[in-house]
Amino acid sequence: QAQLQESGPRLVKPLQTLSLTCTVSVGSDTTNSYYWGWTRQPTGKELEWIGYISDSGSAYYSPPLKSRISISRDMSTNHFTLQLSSMTPEDAAVYHCARAQRLCGATCRVWFDYWGQGIQVTVSS
């Protein structure tokens, strides 16, 4: 099991960089390797995957957002962060951090199984 909690600003100005932190509390399961990621959902729109990072620090980003994203993880403090640069009103959404699992065969499948409660981010001057 895992518990996740997002923190960060709820209001950013256009062109600023959004920085969100996810604090992770994990149970006794330390045998599996997991991934830690971010999603967002604008009001009235579908959930969008942003990116995720492995326990070893390998990061995978959504292609449309790749040039603006940085996800990092501090394993010593069980935090991982999202930075999304050049914010516009179109980036306003509820941002969630989540734990992910990844299974690769001929292709890789990724799914999120534990989620934070989400944080509403507004972009406005």
pLDDT tens per residue across all 125 residues of the chain: 889 999 999 999 999 999 999 999 876 655 567 899 999 999 999 999 999 999 888 999 999 999 999 999 987 888 999 999 999 999 999 999 999 998 899 998 999 999 999 999 999 99
- Write down the pLDDT at residue 74: 87
Contact (CB, 8 A) for 123 and 14 = yes
What would the two tokens of residue 96 be? 């969630």
Q: How many angstroms separate the most distant Cα atoms in the chain?
A: 46
User: Which amino acid is located at 58 in the chain?
Assistant: S
- Write down the pLDDT at residue 11: 97
